[in-house]
Structure 1
Amino acid sequence: MTRLLSKDDVLALLDPDAVIEAVSGAFASYSRGATDTPLRASVTAPGGTGVILAMPCAIHDPAITGTKIVSVFPGNPGRGLPTVASVYVLTDPVTGMPLAVMDGSALTAARTAAGSAVATRHLARPDAHTVGIFGTGVQARAHVEMISRVRSLSRVFVSGRTIEKAEAFAKWVTSKFGLEASATASDITATADIIACCTTSSVAVIESARPGAHVNAVGAFTPETRELGTDLISRAQVYLDTRSGALSEAGDLLIPMHEGRFHPDRIVGEIGDVINGKSPGRPGLPDGAVTVYKSVGAAFLDAATARLILDRAEANGTGATFAFM
């Protein structure tokens, strides 16, 4: 039988702490070479209205296989639809039969933010307590949730496309987490200990960060787009979700490389390397170092999170089951 899980089902099954640990384990597996994670394949929709991505993955230990299909259609908000939609198909690693078909949007938001939380755990200063969020969408909300699990936060600064969206986000933060939060047009980068860039911007939204700050950048995922300015990248200690993905798709790195301002030798390592003890985390860096975690998305994070969701669904009977064949 195949289990069908809606977005509401997935949201109800997501436990932030469990997702963070599942993602941490997946990072470690990838950096040990214990996954088969090809670069995502993509096609452009007729008329150039959007792009469709396929992200297959196999994790060897524990054995997990699955594929995520993602569509990114920028014109959808004008149709009353989300820009991004996705579905995840988790398959039996022995037979290849579909074990579950689940909403991929909530899964993606959770695993992406959990990846940033894992990076923050290892790269932010232990006393970091203020967060600057660029963006006011689903990813921004998930980042506040996940980062709050790895650092004791006291204040959140928010920057959005409009002051109204930023103010609404700040009210949500205060209501949900009891944290002081404010929408601000001032320079968040001068005050925030931790920064999360969760935007759809195609140009840099920040050019610098205060000494000792940690920056998570997850919004840009094509060679032509970026959220981080060249000056920041050229001076920071740079970490990645995957080296192969970032050096193929991350405009945050590729644009400074084309400018002659950044070289791959400057990359400290993948987050999995830090977890496995092969690359230094915050304790091994110079005082005042600015760290950057750049993520373009990794299929092994989806697979690990999907398996966690299905395990919890089976345990409490969430979702509907049907005979796929």
Structure 2
Amino acid sequence: MLFIDGEEVRKRLTFERCIPLMREAMIAFSIGETRQLLRSILPLGAGRLLGIMPGAMGEHAVFGAKLISITPENFEKGRSSHQGIVALFDPEDGAPVAIVDASALTAIRTAAASAAATDALARPDAGRLALLGYGEQAREHAQAIARVRRLSSITIWGRRRERAEALAEHLCETLDCPATPVDSARAAARGADIVCTVTSAQEPVLEGAWLAAGAHVNVVGSSYAGPTEVDNALVAMSRFFVDSRAGALAQGAEFLRAKEAGLVDDDHIAGEIGEVFAGRIKGRQMREEITVYKSLGHVAQDLAAAWAIYQDIAGEMSRR
């Protein structure tokens, strides 16, 4: 059985490879080819969580499970808040074949999924990116979205100015694109074509009233019912897409809060992003409308990415 660490994941799972993998995985999920249960979440106290996500890519395809811990205080210590493993089982004989570092995998596949959604929902000429948050997911989202849109500027907001400044400097160097820290979320969102909320906020940091017409928003930071990054108005005014309808109805905090306020009902979910990728429903309908992709993450994304890495390594070993 292989243990595939974070360094190996990052070496092999480039965005050029992962974005198409996420697109394919989300199509498979939305057309019913995959099998999985809703994420189970065990509260551990003080905002810490343990998530369990089992699934299979099909009847005779790879299956496995993701075990992930969420420790919010890691965010301010410069460490990933998501730590864990993905266990892979051989589809032929059911033997466990690999344990894959889930921290690196989650960071890359989450941003890659948002980039795939952005490619489908954002306007073709969208170039001004706003990041609300300055941690690992903010960095990865900028890198991933730069693969699907030609970025002309990046604005960054976070509660600690020095962290936003450090990320801006890094992105200026790695993306050859102007990146500027700003003093408020409103200033970051002003005029942006693409906004990514990648925070650990418990209450909304982005309001719909701040958005320019035609903006696309990736709502990423909250992965369970409770913490909410965007306000009810943004949910209600948008064409609202999710990665999993069942997941959003059970755990999509922003949608559930707007629903509880009586502003939307279940039919407000325009569809799963995999349905857009598959051509079953239309994404953006008008240039001026606001689109939202709510990312919760599902195990089909993890399995697709982890299995691709495992097959690479197993193939190399068999040729030695």
Provide TM-score, normalisation by structure 1. Answer: 0.92
Per the alignment, residue 167 of structure 1 pairs with: 165
Q: Which moved more, 1:180-189 or 1:20-29?
A: 180-189
Per the alignment, residue 107 of structure 2 pairs with: 109
Distance in 2 between residues matched to 1:38 and 1:65, nearest whole Å: 12
Secondary structure of 2:62's aligned partner = strand
Among 259, 264, 267, which residue is 1:265 paired with? 267
Report how far residue 314 of structure 1 moved: 3.0
Report how far residue 297 of structure 1 moved: 1.3
Q: How many matched pairs? A: 313
Q: Which moved more, 1:55-64 or 1:19-28?
A: 55-64
Per the alignment, residue 211 of structure 1 pairs with: 213
The yes-or-no answer on 1:298 pairing with 2:319 is: no
Distance in 1 between residues matched to 2:233 and 2:93, nearest whole Å: 50
Q: Deviations over 1:26-46 (max 9, x none)?
A: 11111110000210112233x
The yes-or-no answer on 1:10 pairing with 2:14 is: no
Report how far residue 73 of structure 1 moved: 2.4
For the Cα contact (< 8 Å) 1:234–1:262, is it kept in 2?
yes
Change (3 A) 1:296 1:78: closer
Per the alignment, residue 140 of structure 2 pairs with: 142
Change (3 A) 1:110 1:257: same
Ranges in structure 1 where 5+ consecutive residues have no aligned partner: 318-325
Distance in 1 between residues matched to 2:129 and 2:77, nearest whole Å: 33
Q: How does 1:192-271 map to 2 (within 5 A)?
A: 192-208=192-208, 209-271=211-273
Percent identity, aligned pairs only, is 35
Secondary structure of 1:202's aligned partner = coil
Ranges in structure 2 where 5+ consecutive residues have no aligned partner: none
Report how far residue 82 of structure 1 moved: 4.5
Report how far residue 78 of structure 1 moved: 8.2
Amino acid at match of 2:223: F
Per the alignment, residue 321 of structure 1 pairs with: none
Change (3 A) 1:288 1:8: same
Change (3 A) 1:188 1:21: same
Report how far residue 227 of structure 1 moved: 0.6
Distance in 1 between residues matched to 2:114 and 2:171, nearest whole Å: 18
For the Cα contact (< 8 Å) 1:225–1:250, is it kept in 2?
no
Per the alignment, residue 21 of structure 1 pairs with: 20
Distance in 2 between residues matched to 1:126 and 1:141, nearest whole Å: 22
Amino acid at match of 1:73: T
Q: Deviations over 1:226-280 (max 9, x none)?
A: 1111111110000000000011001110001111111121111100110111110
Among 273, 278, 281, which residue is 1:279 paired with? 281
Provide TM-score, normalisation by structure 2. Answer: 0.93
